[in-house]
Amino acid sequence: MPDKVDPEFAALLEHIRSSRGFDFGDYKPSSLTRRIDKRMQALEIDGYAQYLDRLQANPSEYEELFNFILINVTGFFRDPEIWDHMRHEVVPRVLQTKGPADPVRVWCAGCASGEEAYTLVMVLAELMGREVVSNQVKVYATDVDLGALALARQGSYSAKQVAAVPQNLLDEYFERIGDHFVFDRHLRRSVIFGRHDLLQDAPISHVDILSCRNTLMYFNSEAQVRIMSRFYFGLNDDGVLLLGKAEMMSGYGRAFVPVDLKRRIFARGPKKEARDRLMLLAQAGDHDALGRLTNHVRAREMVFEGASVAQVMVDNTGLLVLANARAREIFGLQPDDVGRTFQDLELNWRPAQLQPLIERAQSEQKRVSLRGVEWQALGNHMYLDIDVVPLHDNGRRVLGVGIHFFDVSRERGLRDELQQSNQELETAIEELHSTNEEMETTNEELQSTNEELETTNEELQSTNEELETMNEELQSTNEELGSTNDELRSRTTELNRLNRFFETMMASVRISVIVVDSGLTVQLWNRHSQELWGITSEEALNNAFLGLDIGLPVEKLAAALTAALRGQPESSDLEVDAVDRKGHAMTCRVTLVPLRHGHEEPSGVILMTEPASPANPGSG
């Protein structure tokens, strides 16, 4: 937010954060203010305080406000040139890095109503085949807008929304139902829609393709860096990142390298050191990072202990605080020597006077060395190079000195042979030094020019992002004008009427009606089923039918159920011996009817059960 913030506007954002848990503090102030003002203008409200009163009095207004702020503008094959390049160049290169049975993971961040996620599925299905995609591909489509996610899960779009889909792909991957087009239900299972906050939630990991188009431009620069750090750790080494045409990569160092800068396609950059990665994860909100950082420190201590170079550490009070195994072995140090004053130890003057070196390193704050010191240890005559190095923490506070003893006995024997070579090298180095100075002068001039270009590029990027944001807002407004509340109200009324009719019909049926899906899981259990078998609908629903403990011998129906799911025959009647809920034995007639829609394969089975002969009260 800018330095001078309207107190009423700040109070409004704080109320939204505290009451709904949605923090807009990382959004670009100009875009955020413009969107909220637009909503206030629609309601003919003049001030932020008055609008805050409306939110408190009408909780339903939050949803309208979020719809204005979270601009859900997307489309199938948006920017066709980019998708042609993805289909023919980028995605095939990613798939070449995978084995025949390796999973492919895709993350569509800021998916809105799902068009881009389904576009990725179609591209992968064209390259890999439908069956391979169903078995090996997972597309994680995330957004913060629950309303948009609900629409995306349905996979149903108007003719206008699918206008950009090539006709051959429309025929292959969509089913026309009325005036809408529904995405293939089998491939839809490969897409997992879920709410995800790019600034708060941990990133999805092991991702091969990450698409986040025209989402970063709504956030300020600090938030963009945090999001990009999450993307870096979410991507596999061979993964690719697709950004929007208004988004660049300035400010992210070498985390990502361009594959196609014009089309905003990037690859994951080189790996960072382990400690840097853990620190970045901690900044990105990974709550396990601190524990891993602690393990990292412990590992460094183990490396210190097992190092082949003898090392000791003296703190700034003159105490010996660390000595690794090699140092204890060579100089005969004992465990109780740790914690003693270093000047009292023999190591302080043998194999060399170390106290002057320590004092010099501390006063000059630089490495002090002593070369070729003779020492008799472990029955061998050796030569040691001694380095005394001042130690600091991240705040440059002096911790003490580290003393390293390098065994250079072998190198000493080679030194004389190398002297002649060194003289020749010194001459070459002087020439290189002269050349290097000239190159440094040229590099400084180039760096100055590059900094000017970067400044200009950042200004252009900021302007481009603002223009893209306004374009998204205009498109969103045009799409909102294309829908009518009357149509939604009519469909809701019709759906409620059909639901009431269905509930009344099932309550009126005087026989037991049970519906199972293709996995033989109970989906419907009417009131007469409860009266006949003694299990309520709450106990039966979503449980395996063959696992129900009722008087009906369900195991004898398994073969008939399997046949019904295969669509043969259209219906069948069986008579089996059963026991009703009161324990009375009877002969029960079971009718099985495949449940299908049109000419599709059965999606379940309807079982109608009724006594074929009266229950015998004296039986059971």
Greatest mean pLDDT among 156-165, 438-447, 486-495: 156-165
Q: What is the pTM of this model?
A: 0.48
- What's the rounded Cα separation, in Å, for the pair 231 and 225? 10
pLDDT value of residue 605: 93
**Beta partners for residue 138, in sequence order:** 105
- Tens of pLDDT, residue by residue over 114-167, are 999 999 999 999 999 999 999 999 999 999 888 889 999 999 999 999 999 999
DSSP state of 333: -
Q: Using alpha carbons, select from 156, 140, 117, 116 the residue that is nearest to residue 196.
A: 140
Cβ 254 vs Cβ 127: under 8 Å: no
The overall longest dimension of the chain from CA atoms, in Å, is: 115
pLDDT value of residue 5: 66
Q: Locate CATH 3.40.50.150 in the chain.
A: 80-271
pLDDT value of residue 60: 78
- Tell whether the model's pLDDT for residue 281 goes beyond 80: no
The residue with tokens 């004092």 is: 359
As a whole-number percent, the residues of the chain with pLDDT over 90 amount to: 38
- Cis previous bond, 351, omega within 30: yes
Q: Using alpha carbons, select from 174, 93, 176, 91 the residue that is nearest to residue 139.
A: 91
CA dist 358 to 176, 327, 346, 390, 495, Å?
82, 17, 15, 8, 85
- What's the rounded Cα separation, in Å, for the pair 482 and 610? 52
Greatest mean pLDDT among 39-43, 481-485, 531-535: 531-535
CA dist 175 to 128, 169, 178, 190, 377, Å?
21, 11, 10, 17, 84
CA dist 285 to 140, 215, 229, 297, Å?
20, 20, 10, 20
- What's the rounded Cα separation, in Å, for the pair 46 and 53? 12
Q: Which CATH architecture has domain 80-271?
A: 3-Layer(aba) Sandwich (3.40)
pLDDT value of residue 66: 72
More confident residue, 303 or 430: 430
Q: Locate CATH 3.30.450.20 in the chain.
A: 307-407, 500-611
Name the CATH code of domain 307-407 (choices 3.55.50.30, 3.30.450.20, 3.40.50.150, 3.90.25.10): 3.30.450.20
Fold of 7-69: Chemotaxis Receptor Methyltransferase Cher; domain 1 (1.10.155)
pLDDT value of residue 266: 92
The CATH code for residues 500-611 is 3.30.450.20
- What's the rounded Cα separation, in Å, for the pair 178 and 325? 79
Q: Locate CATH 1.10.155.10 in the chain.
A: 7-69
The residue with tokens 């180095």 is: 429
